[in-house]
Structure 1
Amino acid sequence: MSPAAAVRAPGVPRTLALALLSRVPLSAIGLLLVLQIRHLGHSYTLAGACSGACALGMAIGSPFVGRIIDRAGQAAVLLVTAAAVVAVTALFAIIPAGAPAPAFIGVAALIGAVQPPVGSCVRVLWRRMLDGPGFSALVTLDASLQELAFLSGPLLLIGLASGVGAAAALTVTAAMTGLVAVLFAMLPETRRFGGADEPAAHDAPPQERAWRSGGVRLLLLVSALMGVAFGATELGLVTTAEHHGARGASGILFAVWGVGSFVGGILWTRNAHHRDQAAAMPWLLMILGVTTALIGALPSMVLVGVGITLAGAAVAPLFGIVYSRMGEVAPAGALTEAFTLETSAITAGIALGSALAGAAASGFGAPAAFVLAGAAFLIGCAAVRASSAAG
């Protein structure tokens, strides 16, 4: 199936649209938690702890939610998590300023844990609705388009917070998250293709756990290393902008990184069905490793912008391949769990990469963050090649 045919397939346009909409509030929730904590007069330490707790809750909670979906089906679980995320986020918005710090951190963790995994669910639907080439093309397109969601979400919702306050913006964000999840749960495609897979409808045998598959474990390792690289790159862009005396330019660097990913993904999608996805993965990891490692040595902000744009062009294609491969190697009865584990691995990797890059940049300067990011990509490349050689 060609990319154009995959996009036009029955049910794909509306599932794709809702998947993209689900990422708009998700992209801003951490920042809104920070703004609300600061509005209440608390420190950046507590604000960062709440944002981190939300990310950690998502990383830990989403695989459990995914496992339940594999057993109970998408519609029921999405409806429950939609109600839960609205309630818990509203609770955070009304916690009084005098409440103890653990109350804020605990509720923030719950917000992450009960996020409806619409992105993982839509990939399961597409894997069941489309053939292999069509699925591969569509997940790459989705990876490209999500850059637009991650760029627009903070702009829209943080802008809303500036106008009506962080608490009100949090409430709107929660309502949007819940509404999109409910609409997705009510789709005919969700009811038809999103039910529990037959092997997962009962107590699944040990081999039906996603992480027991060697192919899944390899992709989770690659995903975690990608997360480390992205977290280090984000930190590197900020420190590089400060090093060049242009702290405000870090936002522009993030934007052109996303634009590069968007354009690269669109171009890759047009011919994705003609490529050997498994063979392309180590090459993309190698390209990202080399180009990212060199960015910190570039002498001007203009060249850094060009470098990060070129490096970004390989990001969406790499995401598309990783998603596509996961759909191929994960057990049929544990697809949702596999995709949520993948998201968790990336999330955890980003947190680790940011921490390691911060220490590296403090000790050795801004270029060290990019060297760390490049090394993470190259380790992923080596792991894939070693697995291919062993297989």
Structure 2
Amino acid sequence: MFLARLPMTMNGVLMTLYVVTGLGRGYGAAGLVGAGVTLGMALGAPLLGRSFDRYGLRPVVAVCGIGTTVFWFAAPHLPFEALAAVAVPAGMLSVPAGSLARQILAALVPDEELRAAYSLDTISVEATFMIGPAIGIAAITTLSPTFTLSALGALFGGTAFLIWLIDPPIRASAEPGASTTRPPLRSWLSGKLVATLLIAAGTLFVLVGTELATLAALRANGDIGMTGLVIAVMCTASMTGGVVHGAVKKSLPQGLLMLLLALLVIPVGLADHPWWLLMLVLIPTNLLCAPTLAATTETVSRIAPPQARGEAMGLQDASTRLGLALGSPVVGFAIDHSSPEWGFVAAGLGGLVIAAAGLLRRRSASAAREPAIAAAGGGGNG
């Protein structure tokens, strides 16, 4: 799954560079294609998850692997208009490596060790983001765009074939209810799960906003050359937090982790230069990045029934992509109309607003359940 995620971390930057340099279009046009792919992934994740639940791993991975490979082999030969038109369906056919990895872990790992497993999975994600974009940029700047995009397609297809060949379990046969009929969506898409998904969206809003504000601050202060080092330290801090989260017997809940993540990023803009000070003040909030993501997955896995876990994990993917899609323009607008310092404030406050909606949804669902339980108890006593 580490290898399957690598091309996913490259495709955004490679598509942007190809549209700008290869097709001679602007960054707005590149953003349009990238947004189409992201939208397709968000729409496709729950649908593919439902297909995993219904048809199993191999048929879905085979279709996705072939479709994604064809798209990336064809991409360097398509005009911009055609590329923009097929971006959404191409995104929908992407192998959902993230949700699939979490589903496999839920099937293979005992419940008491899931926190450690999901933490390691999140650490693996951080590692791919440290490696993938750098490899992609180096390839497309030294090799031809046609070769690079075709190689990306081959990597997508090769990793899909490996997953198909290994055919890991996506549901443990010993799980309660694993062989029963699939429950209706309304029975398990509870208020608590919706709240969890909203908090996940808020988390990604904070993360993408923080990254954007960091890049803007480094650029404004003439330290853009230190971007790689700063991002590497941010990723290392996140991985360290993931190790601690997975090692402890009991960690903080998802909601509290998210609140701390957002609150700690708000004052970062007060120390945005020199670059080494910015790097240091970014460490506390990034320590909570991997734990928050791992806690989200653990909560979704615990709430969703085994026979609908693929769709639930797909909804988690969709919610995180929604947070990503909202974070970039909102924080970018704040930076364009003020300064990079306010970008950190916008990232933290925006995440808090989304997470607050989730926490309020969870509270209202709990409040509605308590009178029902009390009424049921009173009826039994009578």
Asked whether 1:161 is paired with 2:140, we answer: yes
8 Å contact from structure 1 (residues 285, 380) kept in 2: no
Matched pairs, number: 361
Q: Residue 297 of structure 2 aligns to which amino acid in structure 1?
A: Y
Identity of aligned residues (%): 25
Asked whether 1:73 is paired with 2:56, we answer: yes
Asked whether 1:325 is paired with 2:299, we answer: yes
8 Å contact from structure 2 (residues 58, 167) kept in 1: no
1:190 to partner: Cα distance: 3.1
1:121 to partner: Cα distance: 1.7
1:258 to partner: Cα distance: 1.1
Q: Within 5 Å, give how 1:308-319 maps onto structure 2.
A: 308-319=282-293
Distance 1:281 1:252, change over 3 A: same
1:48 to partner: Cα distance: 1.8
Residue aligning to 1:217: 194
CA distance in 2: counterparts of 1:200 and 1:171, whole angstroms: 42
Q: TM-score, normalised by structure 2?
A: 0.87
Q: Residue 287 of structure 2 aligns to which amino acid in structure 1?
A: A
8 Å contact from structure 1 (residues 55, 112) kept in 2: yes
8 Å contact from structure 1 (residues 236, 367) kept in 2: yes
SS at 1:297's partner residue? helix
Q: Within 5 Å, give how 1:138-157 maps onto structure 2.
A: 138-157=117-136
8 Å contact from structure 2 (residues 245, 291) kept in 1: yes
Residue aligning to 1:50: 33
8 Å contact from structure 1 (residues 82, 115) kept in 2: yes
CA RMSD of aligned residues (A): 2.4
8 Å contact from structure 2 (residues 46, 314) kept in 1: yes
2:277 is aligned, of 285, 295, 303, to 303
Residue aligning to 1:294: 267
1:114 to partner: Cα distance: 0.7
CA distance in 1: counterparts of 2:209 and 2:219, whole angstroms: 15
SS at 2:253's partner residue? helix
Residue aligning to 1:116: 95
1:345 to partner: Cα distance: 1.2
CA distance in 2: counterparts of 1:63 and 1:389, whole angstroms: 25
2:6 is aligned, of 8, 24, 33, to 24
Q: Deviations over 1:331-376 (max 9, x none)?
A: 3222111111111111121121110111111222212211122123
SS at 1:364's partner residue? coil
1:72 to partner: Cα distance: 0.7
CA distance in 1: counterparts of 2:316 and 2:107, whole angstroms: 18
1:243 to partner: Cα distance: 2.5
SS at 1:189's partner residue? coil
1:199 to partner: Cα distance: 4.4
My pick for the range that moved more, 38-47 or 363-372, is 38-47
CA distance in 2: counterparts of 1:200 and 1:58, whole angstroms: 27
1:188 to partner: Cα distance: 4.9
Q: Deviations over 1:60-95 (max 9, x none)?
A: 122111111111111111111111110111111221
8 Å contact from structure 2 (residues 107, 170) kept in 1: no
1:130 to partner: Cα distance: 2.1
CA distance in 2: counterparts of 1:21 and 1:117, whole angstroms: 13
Distance 1:207 1:333, change over 3 A: farther
* Structure 1: gaps (5+ residues): 1-18
Residue aligning to 1:35: 17
Q: Residue 252 of structure 1 aligns to which amino acid in structure 2?
A: L
Q: Within 5 Å, give how 1:1-391 maps onto structure 2.
A: 19-37=1-19, 38-95=21-78, 99=79, 101-190=80-169, 193=172, 198-199=179-180, 205-207=184-186, 212-271=189-248, 274-275=249-250, 277=251, 279-300=252-273, 301-379=275-353, 382-383=356-357, 386=360, 387=362, 391=366
Distance 1:136 1:84, change over 3 A: same
Q: Residue 47 of structure 2 aligns to which amino acid in structure 1?
A: F
CA distance in 2: counterparts of 1:288 and 1:88, whole angstroms: 37
* Structure 2: gaps (5+ residues): 367-382
Q: TM-score, normalised by structure 1?
A: 0.85
SS at 2:95's partner residue? coil
1:381 to partner: Cα distance: 5.5
Residue aligning to 2:369: none
